[in-house]
Structure 1
Amino acid sequence: MERLPLSATDDQLIEFADRWAALMEQENYEGAFAFTGHVPEMKWSPSLVRDVIKAYDRRDPAQRVTVYGEPTDITQRKEVSRWARNRRGEIAEIWYDLNIDGLASDLTATFVVVETDAGLEIKLNEIHVM
């Protein structure tokens, strides 16, 4: 799992999500899974992540995440919300709208940012339509 320095900026958090999306674009679901931590309650696996992407909208088994996308009636959202550290060490959340086959979509990945002694751990939380 990749970690970021405790001093990581919002731009660096978004760049982290872009690198995760680049693994998804290659359909390297194992690599994308290993790149982040995971919120345990969500029970993510590489195959479940793949299934969620393939089941979106047209349910096309060939569709995939792309890093870049043209706006449709949707504009891609990439934002970070920060707050004071909570009891679980969480300090922020990344909201990252996924592009599918080069088009902006309303399928959103959220990541929780956790402060640890080793740096910031980014955990995949949800992937769903927002």
Structure 2
Amino acid sequence: MELEDYDAAFAFTEHIPEMKWTPTLIRDVVKAYGDAEPTQRVTVIGKPTDVTQRKNVDRWPKNAHGAVGEIWYDLNIDGFVSDLTATFVILDVDDGLDIALNDIHVM
């Protein structure tokens, strides 16, 4: 996402169908965060701010939907820590585990 290749970012994970994510919607959510600068982007590195950043993985026994856990990952925006959180579901599939984008929003 740092390169703003939202198509590639979208293709990198599975998706929860009910959430109706698209590469354009992911881009729009990133661009609408905080000051909503049209040039802002997700960055790998994030300098600390007053936000406590979250990068959590929780696991549990497989449920009826095949989920075995979730990931909450606070994104860095323009080189700074943010509270824009991407949440993912960890799915148990035949050949291992899949990560599915669930949501991106301020937590």
Normalised TM-score (structure 1): 0.81
Deviation at 1:76, TM superposition (A): 2.1
Partner of 1:26: 3
Moved over 6 A (4+): none
If each structure's helix is expressed as a fraction of its own residues, which one has the higher value?
1
Which of residues 2, 9, 25 is equivalent to 1:48? 25
Deviation at 1:114, TM superposition (A): 0.1
Partner of 2:58: 81
Q: State, as a whole percentage, how many aligned pairs show the same letter.
A: 65
If each structure's strand is expressed as a fraction of its own residues, which one has the higher value?
2
Matched, 1:127 2:104: yes
Normalised TM-score (structure 2): 0.97
Deviation at 1:53, TM superposition (A): 0.2
State the Cα RMSD in Å: 0.6
Gaps of 5+ in 1: 1-23
Take 1:54 and 1:43, find their aligned partners in 2: how far apart are those partners?
Answer: 18
